Chains A and B, each alone.
Chain A
Amino acid sequence: MPAPSLFDQSPDAAAWPVSKLTQTAKRLIESQLAPVWVQGEVVGFKRYSSGHWYFGLRDADAQVRCVMWRDDARRVKETPGEGAKVFTYGSPTVWAERGEFRLTVKRLIPTEGLGLQQALLEQTRAALQADGLLDPSLKRPLPRMATTVALVTSVDGAVLHDVVVVARKRWPMAKVLVIGTRVQGTGADVEVVAALRLVNRIEGIDVCIVGRGGGGREDLAVFNNEAVCRALAEVRVPTVSAVGHETDIALTDLVADVRAATPSAAAELALADQADVLRHTAALASRLAGGLRQRTRLAAERLDRAGDRLEGGLERVIRTRRQSLDRLGVALDALSPLKVLQRGYGLALSDEGRVLRRRADFPDGTPFRLRLADGEVPARVEDR
């Protein structure tokens, strides 16, 4: 199509001012090109005193101007040197004042020898580690008898089925609450974050399992997402991460309290085994009865012992009393006049049996009796 002649229309209508051109280009570019990861080498790096960075990114065939504003630049750990290979994440735009196409960079990651996914993963892991989310000492133990399980996964995937099969066999009293979410594709991370936040709003949950079946490395991206990891760390109940198969490890596996190799394994870790609990309960029942029997037997033995002591005490009292009576008898005996007579003394008695104690009791010629230990002798007072 030939270009319309400038003179066919009025110049005002036909010719755009430069600013209209660059503004239109800016609008078009910004509306058509979403933020994007770009890989390249840094050239002409310049940091202004304002803190903003200006540099170029180039590969073998092309170059683009980049700007990184102060607040974003501040989050980059190391200033990239000339020729540094980096990944940048940013919005393509047009600097209307100069008619210059450029990239407004939000994130910049040095990538020497790393793929983008790996570089992102390392960066996220470092951020989580810095905030203590990977600290093994902060892992919570799973409850001993979890019954209500929140399951954050896709409602169409195999995870739900696997968990239900294990629950039915192992712990039939379980209640599985499924919080459905997409687990891959654009926007899945936002859905998983929302699902994990929803878990915190449901009462009576014992444990939360988050997971998906196996997939390619890209399919696990959601479980390496920083926001997802942080939302998982904020779940109020202990968490189990079950992502993919044995060989895949996602960051959620490191953030969760427990990592399970598969969703089935997660259910086995989270749920007690009914058979074990029933056996344990039966053992406790018999020990309870045995314990009481033993306790009553001990009480009976103590009663017996107390009775024995009481009896022994009485015997001792009686024996003591008897001994003191005997001693009293001996003392009384010693005081008896008959004992005195045995030592060779005699006792003078009148005919009436009165004891004669003084000279005056013995007038001349008076008959009396002399009492000795072995009998009496008749006697008379002679002339004195």
Chain B
Amino acid sequence: MTDPSQSTGARLAEDLKRLEEIVRLLESDEPELDDALALFEEGVARLRQARDQLAQAELTVQRVLEEADGTIRLEDVDE
């Protein structure tokens, strides 16, 4: 369900987008009951994931430094 290379924000946006789609499907008459239950389960999982991500609310500020050999180093900045 999630792509580890995605940023948290992109993952959150994707979860919410899929949730909107699931809700729309459930509110229509389209899915059979089996499918509806599966959609609901997926919706709950997405919702939980979205809430977990929203709860990880700690602002980080880092400075990007490029070493002489081209490697990239991140250094915390006190703000």
Shortest B4–chain A CB gap in Å is 10
Q: Which listed residue, B22, B56, B61, B66, touches A288 by the CB 8 Å rule?
A: B22
Q: Is A14 an interface residue (CB 8 A)?
A: no
Query: Mostly helix, strand, loop or mixed at chain B's interface?
Result: helix
Residues from chain B with a CB closer than 8 A to the CB of A176 are 59-62
Residues from chain B with a CB closer than 8 A to the CB of A298 are 29
Q: Which listed residue, A150, A167, A198, A288, touches B47 by the CB 8 Å rule?
A: A288
Shortest B66–chain A CB gap in Å is 6
Residues from chain B with a CB closer than 8 A to the CB of A178 are 61-64, 77
Q: Is A103 an interface residue (CB 8 A)?
A: no
B79 touches A164 (CB 8 A): yes
Shortest B54–chain A CB gap in Å is 6
Q: Which listed residue, B26, B60, B77, touches A295 by the CB 8 Å rule?
A: B26
A284 touches B16 (CB 8 A): yes
Residues from chain A with a CB closer than 8 A to the CB of B12 are 145, 147, 277
Q: Which listed residue, B9, B22, B74, touches A146 by the CB 8 Å rule?
A: B9
Bound together, the chains give a CA A173 to CA B60 distance in angstroms of 8
Residues from chain A with a CB closer than 8 A to the CB of B20 are 284
B23 touches A198 (CB 8 A): no
Bound together, the chains give a CA A281 to CA B43 distance in angstroms of 11
Residues from chain B with a CB closer than 8 A to the CB of A278 are 54
Shortest B18–chain A CB gap in Å is 10
A206 touches B7 (CB 8 A): yes
A198 touches B77 (CB 8 A): no
Residues from chain B with a CB closer than 8 A to the CB of A174 are 59-60
B60 touches A175 (CB 8 A): yes
A288 touches B54 (CB 8 A): no
Residues from chain B with a CB closer than 8 A to the CB of A143 are 9-10, 13
Bound together, the chains give a CA A142 to CA B26 distance in angstroms of 29
| Count of A interface residues, CB-CB < 8 Å | 47
Residues from chain A with a CB closer than 8 A to the CB of B26 are 287-288, 291-292, 294-295
Bound together, the chains give a CA A176 to CA B53 distance in angstroms of 17
With A172-B57, A172-B58: A284-B27 Cβ-Cβ less than 8 Å: no
Give 1 or 0 for each of A281-300: 1 = CB within 8 Å of chain B CB: 10011011011101110110
Q: Is A322 an interface residue (CB 8 A)?
A: no
Q: Is A177 an interface residue (CB 8 A)?
A: yes
Within 8 A of A (CB), among B39-79: 40, 43-44, 47, 50-51, 53-54, 56-64, 66, 72, 74, 77, 79
Residue of A with least CB distance to B43: A288
Q: Which listed residue, B44, B58, B63, touches A173 by the CB 8 Å rule?
A: B58
Q: Is A168 an interface residue (CB 8 A)?
A: yes
Residues from chain B with a CB closer than 8 A to the CB of A161 are 79
* 19 A/B residue pairs, CB under 8 Å, sorted by A: A148-B8, A160-B61, A172-B59, A173-B9, A173-B56, A175-B60, A175-B62, A176-B60, A178-B77, A179-B64, A204-B5, A204-B6, A281-B50, A284-B20, A288-B22, A288-B43, A291-B23, A295-B33, A295-B36
Can you add 18 more A-B contacts, CB < 8 Å, to A148-B8, A206-B9? A147-B7, A164-B79, A172-B57, A173-B56, A173-B59, A176-B61, A178-B63, A180-B63, A202-B64, A205-B7, A206-B7, A284-B19, A285-B47, A288-B23, A288-B43, A292-B26, A295-B31, A299-B33
Chain A to chain B: the 5 pairs with minimum beta-carbon distance, closest first: A291-B26, A147-B9, A172-B57, A145-B13, A295-B36
